[in-house]
């Protein structure tokens, strides 16, 4: 990939911008910087403890990455899932990687609670309400502090 294309990706891709900010120590929602990913608190806390693993490379598909990087990112997803389970004791974890809206590899790691209106619905069923629980910098720090000891 040419340098110019790479610079354009960082400018245009919201997750490339998050990775650059995280590595520079300037991302409110940062939980951890890993070798091949960053872990961030989700943009909303409609599901308390919801976080994401974002690849540090701008890859569109998991299978486009070298196998060892695929494994390390998957390990990061599992490590985050266990950490959220310890910190938030959900009744079920949801792991979601779609990339239809933002074509930069990322995993949503979503703790589900038994007392939700419909705990068996997919996690976007009530997406119109996500903005009600938009993550503030203070909430991001609180969630991050709860999860970090288990990473
Ligand atoms: Zn990107």
Alpha carbon of 7 to ligand 1 centroid (Å): 10
Alpha carbon of 15 to ligand 1 centroid (Å): 5
Alpha carbon of 151 to ligand 1 centroid (Å): 24
Alpha carbon of 8 to ligand 1 centroid (Å): 10
Alpha carbon of 59 to ligand 1 centroid (Å): 7
Bridge partners of 134, per DSSP, are 44
pTM (two decimals):
0.92
For the chain, how far is it from start to end, CA to CA, in angstroms? 33
Alpha carbon of 54 to ligand 1 centroid (Å): 9
pLDDT in tens, 91-125: 999 999 999 999 999 999 999 999 999 999 999 99
Average pLDDT, the chain: 93
Alpha carbon of 91 to ligand 1 centroid (Å): 32
CA distance 81 to 87: 10
Of all residues in the chain, what percent are helix, strand and coil, respectively (each to 5)? 45, 20, 40
Which sequence spans correspond to the domains of the chain?
3-150
pLDDT in tens, 45-73: 999 999 999 999 999 999 999 999 999 99
pLDDT in tens, 13-40: 999 999 999 999 999 999 999 999 999 9
The yes/no answer on whether domain 3-150 falls in CATH 3.90.105.10 is: no
């Amino acid at each position: 990939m040419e340098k110019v294309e790479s610079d354009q990706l960082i400018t245009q891709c919201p997750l490339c911008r998050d990775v650059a900010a995280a590595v520079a120590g300037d991302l409110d929602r940062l939980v951890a910087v890993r070798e091949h990913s960053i872990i961030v608190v989700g943009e909303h806390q409609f599901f308390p403890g919801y976080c994401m693993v974002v690849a540090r490379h701008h890859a569109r598909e998991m299978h486009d990455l070298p196998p060892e990087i695929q494994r390390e990112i998957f390990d990061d997803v599992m490590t985050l899932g266990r950490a959220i389970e310890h910190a938030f004791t959900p009744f079920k974890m949801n792991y979601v990687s779609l990339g239809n809206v933002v074509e930069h590899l990322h995993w949503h790691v979503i703790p589900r609670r038994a007392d939700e209106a419909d705990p068996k619905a997919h996690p976007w069923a009530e997406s119109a309400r996500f903005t009600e629980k938009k993550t503030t910098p203070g909430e991001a720090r609180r969630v991050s502090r709860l999860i970090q000891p288990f990473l």
